[in-house]
Structure 1
């Protein structure tokens, strides 16, 4: 019993003096277990689909932007930029936030006859994101030569992911999730 008390005392002293400390947290651990990153993401394939709607949603760990398409989405490019550029003209798209994602889907927002399949009522505010934890603004950057671009203002350069989903019906969706924290 005396030896046990001596060992226990020595262990408590070692911890108290900082000789024994817990190891560092795993470098792969991140907010909500998300392992996304903030580098550019792209699939360089043209699509026969057309953009029909853009909407947003809030989740526990991230904010989400959804681009609805009529047909299968085939390609996209998303990356952080200093300034989002308008399709065709290259003019800057003003956005609120401390960081800006330029999201381009390789699909037009018009049909083969040039008729609009998506025409936002307010190009500066595609969706009301007041009260969102990460999103600050979604703005229209245009649709030109088969590409449609959206500017996404966020509160900081945070990790994000981009992926596609089938449906509803014969349509598809391009999803952009931006984490609330690192």
Structure 2
């Protein structure tokens, strides 16, 4: 049997690269990602230091950084921008909007409301400072969408409320690069 040192070195390099390229799932704790991010050293291969840098830039918990809205010919749109991996999102009709944590009523007028929850997620960084740059409470004058509010950043859940005068018919989906959640609320075409 012949030994091939170059093949053995190649195989060892592939295994090392695979081990260095392992990522931490979004549900892992911040301390686990910090330990991986800090594991690079000056003598580490370039791919290891690049991986460590990427670990520092991608948060372990999804960060909700903005909410936007817009009117289109046949729908109104809400877009929620996320830094990190998009968390699960739920959208459900509710009788009224309340702030998470306090239970105080959200002062948006409407007869119909949607509650949008992203979890696990946060709108603040590890130091407790807000990273959210969007509206906190806003009246909107679109055909369907009449208001939008950030209703919570509490216990790993970021929530929003949307207000409508008539019952909304909507479609929800996620877009990537950058990560964002989209909610389209249909209305009759006004561009004809």
| Number of equivalences | 130
- The answer to whether the aligner puts 1:134 opposite 2:144 as a matched pair is yes
Q: Does 1:61 align with 2:68?
A: no
Tell me which of the two structures has the higher relative contact order, counting C-alpha pairs closer than 8 angstroms and 6 or more residues apart. Answer: 1
Write out aligned runs for 1:81-120 (5 A): 81-106=94-119, 107-120=121-134
SS at match of 1:85: coil
CA contact (8 A) 1:72 1:166 kept: no
2:173 — aligned with what? 163
TM-score (norm 2): 0.62
**Structure 1, gaps ≥5 residues long:** 1-44
Task: Check whether the contact 1:141–1:151 (CA below 8 A) recurs between aligned residues.
Answer: yes
Is contact 1:136-1:154 (8 Å) kept?
A: yes
Moved over 6 A (4+): none
Distance 1:70 1:141, change over 3 A: same
Give how far 1:99 is off: 0.7
- What is the TM-score of this pair, normalised by structure 1? 0.65
- Name the Cα RMSD after superposition: 2.0
